[in-house]
Chains A and B, each alone.
Chain A
Amino acid sequence: MYKITLEHIMHSYEDKEVLQDFSFSFEQGKRTCLLGPSGCGKTTVLRLVAGLEKPAKGVIKISETVVSENGAILIPPHQRKIGFVFQDLALWPHFTVYDNIAFGLKENKEKNVKGKVAELLDLFGISDKAPKYPHQLSGGQKQMVAIARSLAMQPEILLMDEPLANIDAHLKERILQHMKDIQRQQQFTMLYVTHDQKEAMNTGDYIVVMNAGKIEAAGSKEEISHSSSRFVRSFIKT
């Protein structure tokens, strides 16, 4: 179980400042939701934790090890023991479902690749889809494959960037419940980005509400519901 700490992070894209002196510690083994309007810097936090972006300033620690510091990536993404579910899912279109999940395992020379993939396919109820290509799947099935792939390397941290943005409410609820069960069982640290306050309340043990690159409020669902911040109250209401 890994704890993630961000200290005084500054980050910008070209001239636009996205994160301003952002500091926070994400609890190990818990589900934390990053909630906020579009462009507030939620995805950037996730990408910084993953090591896909370098922080212009500040320090990022995973389990007390400094992984990124002041414009440098000290530990590359694949050595951080993370899984990432991208907003566009990023399923490789030329690989089958089986290959999408097995690719990382094979390349990292893991043992019993077939068994591990079969276990994951079974866990998400998509065993019959193994030989299919991504374009042959429905939206919900694609989400399942993307999540299964992110769990293949048995990560200590799972980062999810609005992975359920484009599916219906009923299916969304089912997948979320499934994810929560898996997280409880495997006890990895989970960071979940969304702009949907209902989804955040339904998913997270903790909620971090962001606005314009800063944290407006952070705490349990109850604490967020009773926040004194005007922005948080108006955002939660909408």
Chain B
Amino acid sequence: MDRTIGKNIIRFVSFLLLFLLLALPIMLLLLQWLTAGEDTVLLSIINRENLLLIGKSLLMSGIVALLATLTGTICAFLLYKFQFPFSGFYKLTLLLPLLISPYIFAVAWKDGFFWLLGNTAAIYSEAGVILVHTIVFFPLAMLITGSALSQIHAGYEEAGLMTVSFRKMMIKIILPLIRPALTISFLLSLIFSLSDFSVPAFFCVRTFTTEIFTQFSALYNFPLAIGQSVILLLICLLFMLSEARYLSDAPFFSVSVKGSVSKKYHAGNRKIMLHSFLWMLLVSSLLMPALMLTVQSLTGRTMFFAQAWELIRPAAFQSVKLAFAGACIITIIGLWTAYGKERRNHKLPDLLLLLTFIVPSTVLGIALIRHYNLPAVNFIYGTSLILLIAYLGKFGFIASRIIGNGIKQIPVSFEEAASVAGIPSKKIFLKISLPLLIPSLFTAFVLSFILCLGELGATMMVYPPGMELMQVKTFAISANAPQALTSSMTLINLGVTVFLILLLFVFGKWIFKKFQYV
């Protein structure tokens, strides 16, 4: 009995800590807004200008979500339902845009327009933001839909094919079965696009998120910034609540130990068409931006590249260290919340991470600043701890879901068999569950690491004075520096990110080979 009480106390204290660190700042932001003076009441914020700005931001994000979901779903169908050479290569490379910070693509496309058309006017527009966001977010839809497709049992399709044509079977059987995945893809792309600050800010497009940043950081109009943040927060929460059931189980990466149960079709003579489509996508989403950056950075201006390297080198090491620490914390907390949800039915910590995941970066940043900018907690506000909290808030949910999917793959009977044999629960966790979870833990760590490395929205808001970070430095310098210097720094940023992804990929292959038990 004493042991149960002890366990409950530990569980409660851990949850309380997570709540105090992450959820309380957001709740206090809401409370502050509700209880503050005249200027911040709802009616003064909901004016014509703000409503138009919200409408414009929602429309742009809606278009991005639609295009990203459509492109991602087509890719997922091709890559997860058809058998053809190099499909693994496409799966990996088409995923890269999601792992690279969106502003890198913004810089690349600006360079591309300058290179191709001689001016950048066309890209400095709403269309430019939509283009870059679609490129960045379609892999998310591909991932979620692909995961859903590979979980559809072959029998459903084969039974359908007995009575209707392939096309009809796809429309009548497969599409309804992946509807939750499509909804989640659309919703997440919409929320991510709505809350991204970097691309619209770079293209000088006024959106609700950039407006919040401007009011808070440039004009110091805190009441208005807080009021606007609350509206954006409420919009995102509304979207989240509409599909919370599906969202809390969104597959993201599923590290399967069982292999796919779904049916795969031979591409046959459609191979050329498939390769053409996928290459076209690969070129426009990854190769062309990389080429544009390289051309702009290196053609006749090697001195800029050398200068950029000198400027970014210390920041790069700092960023990698911080991302590593962030990923370690996120993976540990993700394991705790996922295990609690899947094995102990403790859903609150996971729900809390879902809440902070949905909160736009700038809003999270403002909430954290307002909460931690006090002398008593200056050890958080004035150090990199505040960044680690922000990263946990932004990416903890993704790690929790990846690990949660891994836990779901381990039959409960593995733990029960050990329990019957008299193994204490701590040892069952350490010797049975943990070794089987290594691939999922590694995937969660890698994804968190890469995402922390490229996070800009919250980082711009909360990074402590004196700290130099790669993404912030590149973004900040783009306002005043020559175009070639910006491009060089962005190219180095991209190079560092891709190099680390490849390094982790090689290490991951070894990990999966060693620890994935079939």
Contact = CB atoms under 8 A, between A and B. Distances in A.
Contacts of A52: 416, 419-420
B11 to A, nearest CB: 19
B517 A50 contact: no
Nearest to A136: B518
B191 interface: no
B518 A77 contact: no
Residue from the set A82, A84, A92 with the largest chain B CB neighbour count within 10 Å? A92
B303 interface: no
Interface residues of A, number: 26
Interface stretch (A60-68, A102-110, A115-123): A102-110
A107 B422 contact: yes
B325 interface: no
Given A52-B416, A88-B411, A78 B517 contact: no
Nearest to B419: A77
Contacts of B424: 107
Contacts of A134: 517
B417 A90 contact: yes
A89 to B, nearest CB: 8
A235 interface: no
B517 A103 contact: no
Interface string A81-113: 011101110101110000000011001100000
Nearest to B425: A76
A133 B413 contact: no
A79 B419 CA distance: 10
Contacts, number: 67
Contacts of A93: 257, 436, 517-518
Interface in B396-443: 411, 413-414, 416-424, 427, 431-432, 435-436
B420 A82 contact: yes
Nearest to B416: A52
Nearest to B517: A93
Contacts of A88: 411, 413
B413 A90 contact: yes
A44 B413 CA distance: 14
**Chain A CB within 10 A, most for which of B257, B421, B436:** B421
B416 A84 contact: yes
A94 B435 CA distance: 8
A103 B423 contact: yes
Nearest to A152: B421
A103 B419 contact: no
Contacts of A149: 417, 421
A83 B422 CA distance: 10
Contact of A153 (B414, B422, B427, B517): B422
A76 B420 CA distance: 8
Contacts of A87: 413
Given A90-B411, A90-B413, A133 B517 contact: yes
B420 A77 contact: yes
B119 to A, nearest CB: 60
Contacts of A84: 416-417, 420
Contacts of B419: 52, 76-78
A86 B421 contact: no
A79 to B, nearest CB: 8
Contact of A92 (B257, B414, B420, B515): B414
B436 A83 contact: no
Contacts of A86: 413, 416-417
Given A133-B517, A135-B517, A135-B518, A90 B422 contact: no
A76 B424 CA distance: 11
B414 A90 contact: yes
A149 B414 CA distance: 13
A50 B419 CA distance: 10
A99 B33 CA distance: 60
A50 B418 CA distance: 12
Interface in B366-416: 411, 413-414, 416
Nearest to A84: B420
A135 B518 CA distance: 6
Interface in A149-169: 149, 152-153
A90 B436 contact: no
B427 to A, nearest CB: 6
Nearest to A76: B419
A2 to B, nearest CB: 15
Contacts of B413: 86-88, 90
A102 to B, nearest CB: 10
Given A86-B416, A92-B414, A153 B518 contact: no
B421 A153 contact: yes
A103 B416 contact: no
Interface string B331-352: 0000000000000000000000
Given A77-B416, A88-B411, 5 more contacts: A86-B413, A90-B414, A134-B517, A135-B517, A152-B421
Q: Which 7 A-B pairs have the closest CB atoms?
A: A104-B421, A78-B422, A93-B517, A90-B413, A90-B417, A86-B413, A84-B420
